[in-house]
Amino acid sequence: MKKLCISAVFIFTTLCAKAQQTVDAEELISSDKSQQCLAFLQHTEKKLHASETINLCTLTAGKPVLIVNTASHCGFTPQFTALETIHKKYKDQGLVVIGFPSDDFFQEEDDEKDTADICFVNYGVTFTMIAPVHVWGNDVHPIFKHLADKATAPKWNFYKYLVSADGKNVRHFNSRVTPDSAVFVDAINDII
């Protein structure tokens, strides 16, 4: 009986210590909200025309994000220039720009290499570009499903979504709102 009591005390003490470690770990995680990843960005994606992947959670943790669905042969494709300018201007302030090419509106190259050439060679894009995805419809990428739920689904190429670091503020801008427009730049400055 004495051994049973000692065993019970030992087990109870061990469980209490483990529970306290779990609580301490949870407090540590929740106390540094600036470094937490938004749930909808917990994806590892293939980079555009590369064998490498990128962990979007690691890339964006604690940072505001600009997400854009792009296309290589659209009247709005020249917006790549202004997006690159935004990337260069605000990256040191934490803004992460991510482009998601999509052929959902039938204006993207069939070959990913050609998409990459247009982005990287023609427009000098240095911000993160992901391999082509679906941005609406039955096969919509989960990131764009989330954005549609929070704002609206893209109705065309070059819809822009600004997401605050805490994920509470999601603003969308249609294709006609250029990345260098006053309203768009003001929105960036609001979330930085």
Residue of 5, 37, 74, 119 marked active site: 74
Secondary-structure breakdown of the chain: helix, strand, coil percentages, each rounded to the nearest 5: 45, 15, 40
Tracing tokens 């890339």 back to the chain, one arrives at 59
Separation CA 14–CA 27 (nearest Å): 20
Q: Alpha helices, DSSP H only, in the chain?
A: 2-31, 56-60, 79-90, 112-116, 142-150, 182-191
Give how far the C-alpha of residue 10 lies from the chain's centroid of Cα atoms, to the nearest Å: 47
Task: Report the C-alpha gap between 71 and 156 in whole angstroms.
Answer: 9
Asked about 74 being catalytic, the answer comes back as yes
Active site residues: 74
